[in-house]
Amino acid sequence: MTETKKDFSIGDYIIDFENIYKITSQEDRQDCSGKTLSYFFYQPIESNGQNSTTYSTPIDNIYKSGLRHLISPSIAKKILDEAKEKSNPEDVLDYKSIKETLYLNDPGKSLIILKQLFIEKEKAPEAFSRTNKEILESILKHLTNEIAFVTKKPLDKVRVKIISLIQKSIK
């Protein structure tokens, strides 16, 4: 689902399973064993104050750390198209693998979980747990942020569109 661009550069936008970041610099630094490694430094694009946290990861481990480039606008469109596709209400939600799947940071796989959660919520709203609500909101926020960022559309409109498409697909 996600197109991968192999090279990362200063100024690129990247994403993990929670936030969107911008790579701000690259430096060579020693790790705790004294080995010199090249690191990327990156900051979240949404900072709550003037002093934004800066994160770093060795360039050689960037994929292992769960970071990837943002999806392209064409992939965002494909994800929205997939949100329209009918879902099978008989599919079972595999709770043991949800977190593991989310850490993979694949928007297509996250969408599948999101749709399954919407189905579960529709089947028995009173039995839909707080944990499931939190997971649903987390996935919805993550997909909304990434799609809105790459398509340059307002967050609230993208969120409403995703919800609407999913709700139509599960009826």
- pLDDT mean over 76-102: 85
Is 3 within the bounds of a domain? Answer: no
Q: Alpha carbon of 150 to those of 23, 114, 126, 154, 166: distances in Å? A: 16, 20, 36, 11, 20
* Same domain? 102 vs 155: yes
- The residue segments making up the domain with residue 91 are 73-169
Q: How far apart are CA 166 and CA 29, in angstroms?
A: 46
* Same domain? 148 vs 114: yes
Residue 149 has pLDDT above 50, yes or no: yes
pLDDT in tens, 4-54: 456 899 999 999 988 999 999 999 998 888 899 999 999 999 755 556 789
Number of domains present in the structure of the chain:
2
Q: Are strands 55-58 and 36-44 parallel, antiparallel or unpaired?
A: antiparallel
Residue type at 137?
E
Residue type at 82?
E
* Same domain? 154 vs 93: yes
CATH of the domain at 107: 1.20.58
* Same domain? 138 vs 60: no
Which pLDDT value is given to residue 49?
56
Least confident of 57-71, 89-103, 141-155: 89-103
* Same domain? 64 vs 18: yes
Question: Do the beta carbons of residue 131 and residue 168 sit within 8 Å?
Answer: no
Is 1 within the bounds of a domain? Answer: no
Is 4 within the bounds of a domain? Answer: no
Q: How far apart are CA 68 and CA 145, in angstroms?
A: 15
* Same domain? 86 vs 62: no
